[in-house]
Each structure stands twice: as C-alpha cells, then as structure tokens.
Amino acid sequence: MTVSPPVLQARNVVKSFGATRAVRDVSLEIPTGSVFGLVGENGAGKSTLAKVFAGVHTLDSGEILVNGRAVSYKTPHEGIRGGVSMMAQEIMLVPDATVEENILLGSLPRRGVFPNRKAMRSRYEQLVELTQFDLEPSAKVSSLRIADQQKVEIMRALSQDAKLIIMDEPSAALTADEVERLHVSIRKIVEQGATVLLISHFLEEVLALTDQVAIMRDGELVRVTTTADETVDTLVAGMVGKSLATEYASIHRPVEGPVRLEVRELNRSPAINNVNLTIRAGEILGLAGLIGSGRTEIARCIFGADRPDSGELIVDGQSVPMKSPKVAISQGIFMVPESRKEQGLVLGASIADNLTLASLSDLERGGLISGRRVRTIAERLARQVDLRFTAITQPAGSLSGGNQQKILFGRAVEVSPAVLIVDEPTRGVDIAAKRGIHATLQDMADEGLAVLFISSEIDEVLGVCNRVLVVHRGHIQAEFTPPYDQEVVLSAFFGKDGKQSA
C-alpha cells in the first residue's frame, strides 16, 4: 500500500520583521487528506507561518516542501499555482467587483480575452452547492455585510482547486447556522482529496473538526498532537504557558447606579423600529440577536454614524443630538466599531497616531501638533491597555488582531466617555485577549461607565452582561436578567416572547 507524502512539510522555518522574530525554527508536517488545526494567542506566529506557506511572505531560512517537492513561493499567485490557497483573516476583496467576479478572481474562465460568463456561472453554482451559501452573484461586494464578505472569501479560496487550503479564522463573522454549513463544506473538501489547515480562536471548532492540532506560542511550536487527546483547557494551557479559566464569570449583581444613557423611540427605516433602552452607570448592557436584526444599526444611530428618522438620546440627563460621531464624542459617547480594520483604524498610520486619533483637536497648538506630545500620550495609553508592540511609531497594521483591538480601547480611555459602545469587540482575537477585553470592560464599568455590548456569541453576551436586550427585526423583542436561560434567550432571536421561568 502506497502512503501519500505529507501535503506540506516545514523544516526549521524562520521569519522575522525587523527585530521581531515572528516564527522561530518551526518544523511540522501536515498529512494529506486531513483537517489540521493551528492555534495560539494573537501574535503567536500562526498567521505569519500560514502566509509563508502560501507565498504571502518569503521565509528567511528553512525549507518548505509541498507534496514532497521543495518550494519557495514569492507571491500568493505562485502559491496557488503550486496548489496552496489561503483565505486570510483580513477580508481582501475588490469592492466594486461582483460577488461572482471576486470568487473567481485568479481562476477566471475565459473565452479568448473576455470572461466566459456561462462557465463563470456554472463554477459559481458548483461552489454554492458545496457551501450552501446563498449570495446574489451579481451583487457588488461593497454592498455586502461583513459576514457575507467573509463567505465570498471562503468561496474564493475553494474556487482555486488547491491541494492545501489555508483558512484563517473562517467562521469569525458567521452565524451559528452558517458555521455549521462551513463545517459541512470543510468535511466535503477533505472527502474530495484536499487538505485544510484551519486557524481558529474557536477552540471548540478546532476540537470538532481537526485530526491533528499544532500549538504555537511566541513564534515557536509548542507541540503537535492528535486532536482527540486535547481539550479546551489543555489547548489554552499550551497557548499561554499556564492554565486559564475558560468559563465566563457569572454576572449576578444588580446595578443600581443612575441612568447614564437613555434612548427614546428611536426609528430608522427599515432597520430600527421604535427602540427604547436605558443603561445605568456601572452596567454592561448586552444587545443580542441575529446578524441583520438591527443591533449594529441601533449602535450606529446612538453614535451619530447614521442619522435616525426620529428619536431622542439623553446622556446624564441632557438631550444629545444624533448628528455625527464628532458630536457624540463631545457629548460623552464613544464607539469601538464592528470592523476595526475598515471602520476603526488607519492601518498605515503609526500606533501613536491611531491611539490619539479621537483627541487630536485637543492636542493642536497654533495649528500644529507636537509629535513628541502625541508619542508621550500614546505610550501612556499603550501601558494602560497592555498593548504589545516593538515601537510606538510602527504601523498599526503590523500588530496582531488582539493588539489592534487594544488600540481602540486605548483611544476610548483617552476620550474618557460616559457611554462606551462596543460592537463585536472580541471578534478574531484569541482566548487570553478575549478575557483581557472582558476584564477591561468590567474595569470601565466599575469606574461608572455605561457599556453597550454587542456580540454574535451568545455565551459571551450572557457571560459578560448584567442585562440583555434581544433585537428582532429592528425592535426590542425581549429583556433578560440573570440567571439566564440560554434556550429561552435564543428563542427570542427568532421572534418568540422570550419569557424565562422563575
């Protein structure tokens, strides 16, 4: 019986960025026809290693073999031609191109010099059959929600018929139902002879899907084991070098502080329908519901990013106009948006500039801004949020996802708001960073902030929040207080009355 060689072998791979060694002497083998997991904290080197495999980065030293042949990919296109396709964590699509065109980018069927539209549609329909993702092929990608853009990324990776498909956080923006469809697709891909390298912060997903799992920490390989021999706790211990409680702290304490934020009869057709809510000082209020239910739309109106049709906003007893984010910030409201890369950060700008972005007008003196003063303030904020970096002047885009998110929290600390809105604050960050963000939010609430917390993870919402409102089709369907009955809360997502038993 002939045994297939590993689809990929890495031997003593090293990759550095300046003085930072992101991958340190890593050697591993990925078996053909398997789902292979790769886990670690943000900044552990997982994505960098995967990008070396795919040709996004060139390795400094070491060797990579694909199907037994030594390769040295210089570009992602070379990687694709060599049989390695990568679905990166950062969404990288052509906004003005259609869904169909983005999915088939790099493998576009042609008739002469022109695209073969009939062949494109046939290939697109094959991918829909495989993934069960329901997207309009002629829609422009710029019109899609982030979750749907993530589906386009997944389908594009699958379109390239690669022997090794690298998926970096593929389920981060998907609903539970969509995640299940993705898992079915991954199993189908493997049955058809491909191999999947799965990088995920959802450790339960890794345990459910993978055959083997590799753990990285500080750029080094900790171990490679059979997944059946691991648990969430053992994976976490390997990732962080110590055991870490993985259960959420139960929130049972009632919050008696004064009302800091009140929203009255908020409407914005068709997304928001007569929403009323209050948040007290020291309270973390959860806003839960399906993607598209209106959660984010409510938050954006409160922050002034979208103009409502009607409604009233009151902060600390004073009426506040919902005109713009600038007005909202001046009146004590700050928001950490759903997409840190597209809506929160200037990735090419320095960490210092990003940390102080919301308060630059306060730093201006005579039309000039002191670079030294910006750096001094930024370094203070970086310490307060435990930001990990090499130099305060390095681009924000060079940081891991968890550290990028910390920049936004540092910006909030500098503004000192009365109300903090966080939309998917832990998306794409590892379990230790997630716990750190939860602790930061609790510290802020303990100091008297009112926090509006939005997340697609029901366990997270129920674990972090003092009270939860469920949004369904743009209105508040139900309100819940601890102890939570998760099944009843979930039923409200779909329009049920949401009554908990006593």
**Domains of the chain, each with CATH number or no CATH:** 8-240 (3.40.50.300), 248-332+417-502 (3.40.50.300), 346-415 (no CATH)
Q: What is the pLDDT of residue 55?
A: 94
Q: Rg for the chain (alpha carbons), in Å?
A: 24
pLDDT at position 502 over 90 = no
Q: What is the pLDDT of residue 358?
A: 74
62/488 Cα distance (integer angstroms): 54
Residue pointed to by tokens 């021999």 = 229
Q: What is the pLDDT of residue 363?
A: 66
Q: What is the pLDDT of residue 252?
A: 58
Q: Between residues 368 and 491, which one has the greater pLDDT?
A: 491
Residue pointed to by tokens 């902030």 = 449
Sheet containing 61-66: order of strands: 20-30, 8-17, 61-66, 69-71
Percent residues over pLDDT 70 in the chain: 92
pLDDT for 377-386, tens place per residue?
888 888 888 8
487/165 Cα distance (integer angstroms): 35
List of long-range contacts for 13-17, beta carbons under 8 Å, 24+ apart: 13/49, 13/52, 13/59, 13/61, 13/62, 13/63, 13/64, 14/59, 14/60, 14/61, 14/62, 15/45, 15/48, 15/49, 15/52, 15/57, 15/59, 15/60, 16/60, 17/398
pLDDT category at 499 given cuts 50, 70, 90 is: low
Looking at residues 103-111, what average pLDDT do you find? Answer: 77
Q: What is the pLDDT of residue 8?
A: 96
Regarding pTM above 0.75, the answer is: no
Q: What is the pLDDT of residue 1?
A: 45
Percent residues over pLDDT 90 in the chain: 41
DSSP tag of 56? S
Looking at residues 365-389, what average pLDDT do you find? Answer: 80
pLDDT for 326-345, tens place per residue?
999 999 999 998 877 777 78
pLDDT for 436-470, tens place per residue?
888 889 989 999 999 999 998 888 899 999 999 99
**Do 276 and 265 contact (CB within 8 A), yes or no?**
yes
pLDDT category at 247 given cuts 50, 70, 90 is: low
Average model confidence (pLDDT) for the chain? 86
DSSP tag of 456? S
Strand partners, 471: 476
Of the listed ranges 86-90, 198-202, 277-281, the least confidently predicted one is 86-90
Helices (H), 71-200: 76-81, 99-103, 117-131, 146-159, 176-191
